[in-house]
Structure 1
Amino acid sequence: MDSRKAILWLTETVAISSDDSDTSSWSDVCTDKLESSDDENEVDDEDRLFFPLMQYLIRLRRKRVDDYLHIIDSWTDSEFKNRLRLSRKTAYRLIDELEKSGFIASHKFGLKPLEPKLCFYIFLSFIANTEPLTPIATRFDISISSTFRVIRRVVAWILTKLNEAVKWPQDFNDIQCICDMFHSKTGIPNMLGVIDCTHVRIEKPKNAREYCNPKGYFSIILQATVDANLRFTNIFCGEPGSSNCSRVLKKSPLYNTAMQNRNALFPHNTFLVGHSGYPSLPWLVPPFRENKRLTPQQREYNSLHASTRKMSDKAFTMLKGRFRRIKLFTVYRNIAFITDTIVAACILHNYCLNEHDHLEEI
């Protein structure tokens, strides 16, 4: 085997072995090829040096992956939470659920797949920061395409938990509890939530004009309703940044359901509050329009209204502070993928609140 062919074969083999494959299998291939060549007296000095080198490089790759997992496991609980944005307890619980879900392949036609623990760490590394895929792939020593494929699979799995994690209150006791908590915190009775929108910055898409928001950057919109514990009770995501909040609301399933059957979502005269950009509806109350004719009571209500709306701001701040990817999607131009990732972050936001997994710096 001449040196050029050896280099080419080495490059192709390493590329394949870095793409979710079983390194021991490729090690066996090298050994078998060397042994078969020995039998046929076809092994020259270059071959005898090349195949052991191939085996060494493959084993080295597996060692680098194992070493980085060992590094993560060696982090203190504080370091783990600071870097991956979830507590170790919450992460382990989700890893167990991911392993049982079937979303991560248990076999790859004789090749060893990436384990759920590694896949979830890759996803957390992606959503916890705004760095591109290349350094993430480098740390875990897998290809960029495999890294992106792992992220999409974990996102798809998290989306199956949407109805379980982001729930509209239906039971009378739940509704009453939320209203009582809002009343005690804000002084406003019969209030079921705060509705608001936030923009998620993206790279310039193909239909750029549609996604350019009034602040001059490209974005997609996340609409959410928030309860008194800062949980999301309803989300609607994916509308282009040029849309205003009223237009987004009217496109959402929440609006259609409430307009057709108010009592299905807002029984007992309950309602949402929203800023002045929202329309005044039987189930949605914006503040009184500022003018010189407002009574003292109306001005006092506007003051309570403004302080109440800060809850949605705080919820969005928590979401983007924990999952920094939601602040900015660089490189990625697939709107469907971005939307799914934002929804997945909202699901994890609620999951963390349910697990009492809080970040102190937020």
Structure 2
Amino acid sequence: MGDMDFKAHMRLQRETVVYLTTRYSTSSFGVDQAGGGRSRITPKKSVYMYIWYISNTVTFRQLGNLFGVAKSSAWSVVKRVSCFLISISDEYIKWPEGVHLQKNSEKFYRKQRIPGVIGAIGCTHIAIKAPKGQQEMYLDRKKTYSIVLQAVVDADKKFIDVTCGEPGSLHDHRVLRRSKLFDDADRLYEEMFAGSYFLIGDSAYPTTKWLVPSYKDYGNLTQGQLKFNEIHSSTRMVVQYTFGLLKGRFRRLLKFTELTDLEMITNIVVSACVLHNICITQNDFCDVGEENEMDDSAPFVLEEEIKESNSNANLNRRQNLFNYLRQHNLI
């Protein structure tokens, strides 16, 4: 295939697939022992099978027929490559530190002039086949069986934290409180947020010293609060856009129609998040120009302004930010 046809079919650039194959072949996951140390399915074929599975909505039987292997082998290959990607996830899904915190905050600031934001948090549901046990727990508000993917996304649409596998019936707020992120954010606040940075999320989330949600709109918000919600929403939409890119590229995540192994489904979803970040690192984008969304006309925000937006410890973080934006005639 030519490069354009390859990208159209595989959803990844050829260079990205070559990189994955090289990494996989040198890992402990890349050898499928068939006796005498020989590999039954080559690393290249394994990577291609995994990519084809997550990029389309084929069954394992169809995947096996396409690549000339048994259904059980197709299942085993997808599981193994997923585990491989999770094994290198610390390289690609990681919390920004040091100067990267400031740079990420500056990129968010260029969107709507909100100082101090380092990530947007949100949840999306991954539709699944009805599980064998506790079906009611996995029935979400749309009456679909699902698991929840919670993610924090930076200004470059990269995942910096991922939690996956909670039942679809759980509210976003509860998913957050049950996540490792929630415990870490309180316990390691100074390390993760440097005492002044924070995340933004929709009104489902609580207001904390490290998380600023929008206002709940029951029809009684002031004009200032409505304007706050408007620029807040515009800034945090990066997380929903990222979910759209993830599911648009890896269509398997739209619905798991065959698998009922919740652990394997969760691993496949997380592995797709890792691969999403690898694609960004490799400049392998879904849409032309998606990497050029920022408004470069905005000046960099100063550290003093970030601290100013959280200057009064007696007020909650959202009220501090609201006051800051009003004082600077942004709302």
- Which band: TM-score by shorter chain? 0.7 to 0.9
Equivalent residue number for residue 85 of structure 1: 11
2:261 to 313, 334, 354: 334
Once residues 107 and 294 of structure 1 are traced to their aligned partners in structure 2, the CA distance between those partners, rounded to angstroms, is: 64
TM-score between the two structures when normalised by the length of structure 2: 0.83
TM-score between the two structures when normalised by the length of structure 1: 0.76
Equivalent residue number for residue 31 of structure 2: 105
CA contact (8 A) 2:140 2:169 kept: yes
Matched, 1:298 2:225: yes
Q: Measure how far apart 1:76 and its partner are.
A: 1.6
Higher mean alpha-carbon deviation, 270-279 vs 105-114, is at 105-114
Q: Give % identity.
A: 36
Q: Which has the larger radius of gyration?
A: 1
Once residues 291 and 155 of structure 1 are traced to their aligned partners in structure 2, the CA distance between those partners, rounded to angstroms, is: 43
Matched, 1:217 2:137: no
CA contact (8 A) 2:123 2:149 kept: yes
Q: Partner amino acid for 1:114?
A: I
Q: Partner amino acid for 2:66?
A: R
Q: Partner amino acid for 1:257?
A: D
Q: Secondary structure at the match of 1:195?
A: strand
Q: Partner amino acid for 2:11?
A: R
Q: Measure how far apart 1:157 and its partner are.
A: 0.7
1:176 to 102, 109, 112: 102
1:135 to 57, 62, 74: 62
1:147 to 66, 74, 79: 74
1:202 to 125, 128, 133: 128
Once residues 252 and 166 of structure 1 are traced to their aligned partners in structure 2, the CA distance between those partners, rounded to angstroms, is: 16
User: Which structure features the higher share of helix residues?
Assistant: 1
Higher mean alpha-carbon deviation, 259-268 vs 95-104, is at 259-268
CA contact (8 A) 2:25 2:31 kept: no
1:106-146 CA-to-partner distances (Å, cap 9, x unmatched) read 75224552111111111111111111111211111111011
Q: Measure how far apart 1:185 and its partner are.
A: 1.3
Q: Which runs of 5+ in 2 are unaligned?
A: 291-331
Aligned residue runs from structure 1 range 245-284, under 5 A: 245-284=172-211
Q: Which runs of 5+ in 1 are unaligned?
A: 1-74
Once residues 216 and 225 of structure 2 are traced to their aligned partners in structure 1, the CA distance between those partners, rounded to angstroms, is: 10
Once residues 141 and 33 of structure 2 are traced to their aligned partners in structure 1, the CA distance between those partners, rounded to angstroms, is: 49
Matched, 1:157 2:84: yes
Aligned residue runs from structure 1 range 284-323, under 5 A: 284-290=211-217, 294-323=221-250
Higher relative contact order, chain-length normalized (CA < 8 Å, sep 6+): 2
Q: Partner amino acid for 1:190?
A: G
Q: Measure how far apart 1:293 and its partner are.
A: 5.7
Q: Secondary structure at the match of 1:280?
A: coil
Q: Secondary structure at the match of 2:203?
A: coil
Q: Measure how far apart 1:302 and its partner are.
A: 1.1
Once residues 181 and 321 of structure 1 are traced to their aligned partners in structure 2, the CA distance between those partners, rounded to angstroms, is: 24
Q: Measure how far apart 1:260 and its partner are.
A: 2.3
Q: Measure how far apart 1:186 and its partner are.
A: 2.1
How many pairs were matched up? 287
Once residues 66 and 145 of structure 2 are traced to their aligned partners in structure 1, the CA distance between those partners, rounded to angstroms, is: 30
